[in-house]
Chain A
Amino acid sequence: MSASTIIGAIVLIAAGALLLIFIVWRKRVPASLRRIRAYDRLNRDVGLSVESGKRLHISLGRGDLLTARNASAFAGLAMLRQIVERASVSDRPPVVTSGDSALTILSQDALRAGYSAAGAEEDFRVSAGRLTGLSPFAYAAGALPIARDEGVSTHIIIGDLGVESALIADAAERQGASLVAMSDGLSAQALLYAAAPDPLVGEELFAAGAYSGAGMSHEASLNAQDVLRWLIIMIMLAGAALTILGVNF
């Protein structure tokens, strides 16, 4: 086994252990999350869209489930399930778009779970989870008519997207709709920083479940992430100090 594989295994085991420890801890001590304006807006906009009888559009991106870029899709699905549970009573049910067919199927499943949790399973429509295109621009082009024609008041972009996210953000702006956007891609993060009023960058995307009420496992994840982040910072500082002192490793 190579050194990098051993380090990878240690990080994985440490992360798993931390996650389980924090889940047990969170059962005893409730989490207190710092305020993130974008998530405040998200929760407010979901409520407003239900009250005003408008539609929510949740764009899950193109996270291919067979590649390493799928984690943001899973984070989006966790949030989707919570949002749909709250928005299922709306006159206009939420629409979910994605650019990967397996993700579309999972989004339909998350929609069904959300309706079921709200006790409104009969209102679930499989057509609410849509595949709009399989290439980046086909996906964006398929999502644009939804922004224009379907009375959407809030667009939520969460997942693995690239520069095409700017087209969806622009369509939201043109229709005067609210926009909450986050992505794991660096180019999309840079674009959405400029396009969204309250941008979310870096790992803030993975806090979506915790901030939308997906449960203590998501809050425990954030705790484990914090511990690991501090560990990495300390290791990086130690490495820099050792390099300055002339220690080669």
Chain B
Amino acid sequence: MRVTAILTTALAMAVAFIVLLGFFFPVPALLELRAILTNWAMTIGGMAVFIGVLNLVAVHIGKIQKRQKGSELGVILVFSLLSVFTYGVLFGVEDPLMQMTMNAVIAPVEAALMALLVVTLTYTGIRLLRWRRDLAAILFLAVVVLFLAAMAPKPFDNGILDGLIVNVAGTIAQGGARGLLIGVALGALLTGLRVMFGIDRPYGGD
């Protein structure tokens, strides 16, 4: 194992144990240390965003240079990113034009994707029966349709039946969701322990 790998592993394990000890034993010294380490992590996270954006620009500039398929979208992305970034640095994020960029461009584009998602989900639901024609798939679709029918606004009063559907199917779905979440929590716990013990080293120690 390289020296850097040993150092990074030891550092990660030490930080993990200090933060965890601070959680279980909230004595002032540990809490203060925990706060300092968390602040460092947030600062490093902020730098990572900057590096990530540079990576995004570098990938698209590479595509443009090689004239790869879709590189014209890369030109738009790099131009928009640089111009918005420069304007934001010069005039601040509170500037009306910056706010307009957010409200008139980014928010509508995300809303459009959300609308597209509705179509995608409908198509996916229909496609499900192509993948699987078993009882679970049919039950899944039946519950989805029942829920949609119960939640949809209607011109007549159907409160009792809708309430029954939501309560019965909702209770069963909640039970299933809790089961899934317990499984996810156990998996997350063991994954965290592997990282904390230095068994998994995704931070350059491998």
The reply on A38 being an interface residue by CB < 8 A is no
What is the 8 Å Cβ interface bit string for chain B, positions 186-206, against chain A (1 contact, 0 not)? 111111111101011011101
Q: CB < 8 Å: which of B24, B125, B191 contacts A74?
A: B191
Chain A residues contacting B44 (CB-CB under 8 Å) are 102
**Which of B84-92, B116-124, B153-161, B164-172 lies at the interface?**
B116-124
- Nearest A residue (CB) for B180: A202
Contact in complex: B117, A166 (CB < 8 Å): yes
Q: Which of B52, B193, B199 has the most CB of A within 10 A?
A: B52
Contact in complex: B202, A110 (CB < 8 Å): yes
Contact in complex: A71, B187 (CB < 8 Å): yes
Please judge, given known A-B contacts A66-B41, A228-B186, whether A106 and B203 are in contact too, CB under 8 Å.
yes
A residues 1-32 near B (Cβ < 8 Å) are 1, 5, 8-9, 11-12, 15-16, 19-20, 23
Chain B residues contacting A118 (CB-CB under 8 Å) are none
Contact in complex: A109, B202 (CB < 8 Å): yes
Chain A residues contacting B53 (CB-CB under 8 Å) are 101, 131
Give, as a whole number of angstroms, the nearest-CB distance from A217 to chain B.
4
What is the 8 Å Cβ interface bit string for chain B, positions 32-65, against chain A (1 contact, 0 not)? 0000000001101100111111011011001000
The reply on B183 being an interface residue by CB < 8 A is yes
- Nearest B residue (CB) for A116: B206
Chain A residues contacting B52 (CB-CB under 8 Å) are 100-102, 104-105, 131, 134
A residues 45-91 near B (Cβ < 8 Å) are 65-66, 68, 71-72, 74-75, 77-78, 81
Please judge, given known A-B contacts A113-B206, A137-B110, A191-B124, whether A148 and B70 are in contact too, CB under 8 Å.
yes
Complex formed: what's the CA distance from A202 to B177 in Å? Answer: 9
- Nearest B residue (CB) for A163: B117
Complex formed: what's the CA distance from A53 to B121 in Å? Answer: 32
The reply on B184 being an interface residue by CB < 8 A is yes
What is the 8 Å Cβ interface bit string for chain B, positions 62-76, against chain A (1 contact, 0 not)? 100000111001000
Query: Main SS of the interface on chain B?
Result: helix
The reply on B181 being an interface residue by CB < 8 A is yes
How many chain B residues touch A (CB < 8 A): the figure is: 63
The reply on B127 being an interface residue by CB < 8 A is yes
Contact in complex: B48, A102 (CB < 8 Å): yes
Chain B residues contacting A167 (CB-CB under 8 Å) are 113, 116-117, 120
The reply on A39 being an interface residue by CB < 8 A is no
The reply on A232 being an interface residue by CB < 8 A is yes
The reply on A132 being an interface residue by CB < 8 A is yes
Complex formed: what's the CA distance from A129 to B52 in Å? Answer: 10
Contact in complex: B56, A132 (CB < 8 Å): yes
- Nearest A residue (CB) for B189: A15
Contact in complex: A105, B188 (CB < 8 Å): no
Complex formed: what's the CA distance from A202 to B180 in Å? Answer: 5
Complex formed: what's the CA distance from A218 to B203 in Å? Answer: 17
Smallest CB-CB A-B distances: 5 pairs: A101-B52, A206-B187, A71-B188, A203-B183, A202-B183
Give B residues with C-beta under 8 Å from A. Answer: 20, 23-25, 41-42, 44-45, 48-53, 55-56, 58-59, 62, 68-70, 73, 109-110, 113-114, 116-117, 120-121, 123-125, 127-128, 131-132, 140, 177, 179-184, 186-195, 197, 199-200, 202-204, 206
